Amino acid sequence: NAGVTQTPKFQVLKTGQSMTLQCAQDMNHNSMYWYRQDPGMGLRLIYYSASEGTTDKGEVPNGYNVSRLNKREFSLRLESAAPSQTSVYFCASTRDRGTTEAFFGQGTRLTVV
Amino acid sequence: DQQVKQNSPSLSVQEGRISILNCDYTNSMFDYFLWYKKYPAEGPTFLISISSIKDKNEDGRFTVFLNKSAKHLSLHIVPSQPGDSAVYFCAAQRGGGNKLTFGTGTQLKVEL
């Protein structure tokens, strides 16, 4: 069982470049999330999708866009990367809205230089 | 504005002893609390949770205590094992909501 799969695992970008982080889950979950983890800050919610076809902003959405491509896939796009977006990004999913146990991917370590 | 706080960035405990990890929250609307465990280069994994209608939940070596009046919860690990060495995140949720609010994490090291 793959669970939540994120690609790539590592990425280095130059300031101003764009990229898309991919996330897919095989648990038939309805809700998906993108978090970033920074030292001393815990995990902060960037965007989430309560169900296929819907997306909403989280705590730190500026500089990001998302697409819920289908029930399985939820991508995060950086249109013009900035050094402040250097972080570890985690995708997660839950069965339903309000279901508390979230399953996380392994993370993407992004460095913007 | 950190609504969920873990004031101890690190904790060191001897194998076999009790580990106590603490978490405080400020938002009285939170009614579900969770602990996640994270190893290096891996995503967080769910450990244990507690609803605000309870004050204790136990699962094997792990027990979570909730003190609503103090807005405080704690995770007890007894006995601690070297494999428990990881970062532990406390998280909180408002009823029926999608969002988990995480604390900053506590690095637990269990020494032989």
pLDDT at residue A100 in the model: 64
What is the C-alpha radius of gyration for chain B, rounded to an integer number of angstroms? 13
**Cβ(A81)–Cβ(A19) under 8 Å?**
yes
Residues of B in contact with A92 (CB under 8 A): 43
Q: Strand, helix or coil at A81? A: coil
Q: B45 vs B100, which has greater pLDDT?
A: B45
Task: Please determine, for residue B51, whether its predicted confidence score (pLDDT) is greater than 70.
Answer: yes
A43 burial level (CB within 10 Å; 0-12, 13-18, 19+):
buried
Whole-number average pLDDT of chain B: 94
A42 and chain B in contact, CB less than 8 A: yes
A98 and chain B in contact, CB less than 8 A: yes
Task: Please determine, for residue A98, whether its predicted confidence score (pLDDT) is greater than 70.
Answer: no
Task: Please determine, for residue A10, whether its predicted confidence score (pLDDT) is greater than 80.
Answer: yes
pLDDT at residue A20 in the model: 98
For chain A, strand residue ranges (E) read 4-7, 10-13, 19-25, 31-38, 42-49, 56-57, 64-68, 74-78, 87-94, 103-104, 108-112
% residues pLDDT > 90 (chain A): 82
The DSSP 8-state label assigned to residue A16 in this structure reads T
**Cβ(B88)–Cβ(B37) under 8 Å?**
yes
pLDDT at residue B2 in the model: 81
- Opening angle at CA B13, ends B7 and B17, nearest 5: 120
A33 and chain B in contact, CB less than 8 A: yes
> Which of B4, B6, B100 is the closest to A102 by Cβ?
B100
Closest by CA to A23, choosing from A44, A42, A46, A57, is A46
Task: Please determine, for residue A64, whether its predicted confidence score (pLDDT) is greater than 70.
Answer: yes
Q: What is the DSSP track for A17-42?
A: --EEEEEEESS--SEEEEEEEETTTE
If you average pLDDT over residues B43-51, what whole number do you get?
94
**Residue B48 carries which side chain, given as an amino acid letter?**
I
Spacing of C-alpha B5 from chain mean position:
10
pLDDT tens-place string over residues B4-31: 999 999 999 999 999 999 999 999 999 9
- Tokens of residue B94, six digits: 């408002």
What distance in Å separates the CA atoms of residue B88 and residue A44, rounded to the nearest whole number? 15
pLDDT at residue B94 in the model: 86
Confidence of residue A77 (pLDDT cuts 50, 70, 90): very high
Confidence of residue A39 (pLDDT cuts 50, 70, 90): confident
pLDDT at residue B79 in the model: 98
% residues pLDDT > 70 (chain A): 96
**Mutation choice for B interface testing from A34, A100, A101 by most B CBs within 10 A:** A100
